[in-house]
Amino acid sequence: MDHKELLKRVDHTLLSQTATWEEVQALCDEGMAYETASGCIPPRYVKRAADYVKGRLKICTVVGFPNGYSTPEVKVFETEDAIRNGADEIDMVMDIGLAKAGDWEGVLEEIKAVKASCNGHILKVIVEACQLTQEEKVAVCRVVSMSGADFIKTSTGFASGGATVEDVKLFRENISPDVRVKAAGGIRTFEQAQAMLDAGADRIGASALVALYRQEG
């Protein structure tokens, strides 16, 4: 895929703890200039960014990030707050502890609660694949498919591992056809991004690809 076209599949991301408004503003400028799928930014900056881009770039933010172990009520509040502030898309971290315990009903109910609070906006569920066994990955695909979420997302980028082609293929094979796949974490080249798309990803989470494209130009 042409690199300019590939950028349209990218959530241009800045989730560093040290991110400043000036850096977020620059990310928004790049996202608008290169027509990325969204700008994925910390909740603190959502309102300011939404006011700044005035609809010219989708604003994505994170909920329960990066550990996923806040209560469902807190995740629902974060989601509602983000949408009030102008977020278009929500990337939530599922409760990985519940998944490890096999409490799939608890995982499902939490995702459904967050999806309901999205009020029609896109919800991506970050499952932190590097923390899961193969059996747990298959089970989480089933749960996300049942939840009404729009995407399953591989990783936060803050754990010990990121997206892999193998996980993307596994997710593609085990989620329902109406659920899309976002590959994120450690994708730093167009070759890596293309491999994820070829494996079945629909969206890429990355922080480095816009800069690479600019260097090419």
Cα-based angle 168, 33, 164 (whole degrees, multiple of 5): 15
| Nearest-angstrom CA–CA distance, 155 and 162 | 5
Instruction: Count CB-CB contacts under 10 A for residue 71.
Output: 11
| Nearest-angstrom CA–CA distance, 14 and 18 | 10
| Nearest-angstrom CA–CA distance, 72 and 34 | 35
Residue with tokens 């241009």: 12
Nearest to 33 by CA among 213, 193, 189: 213
Catalytic residue IDs = 91, 153, 182
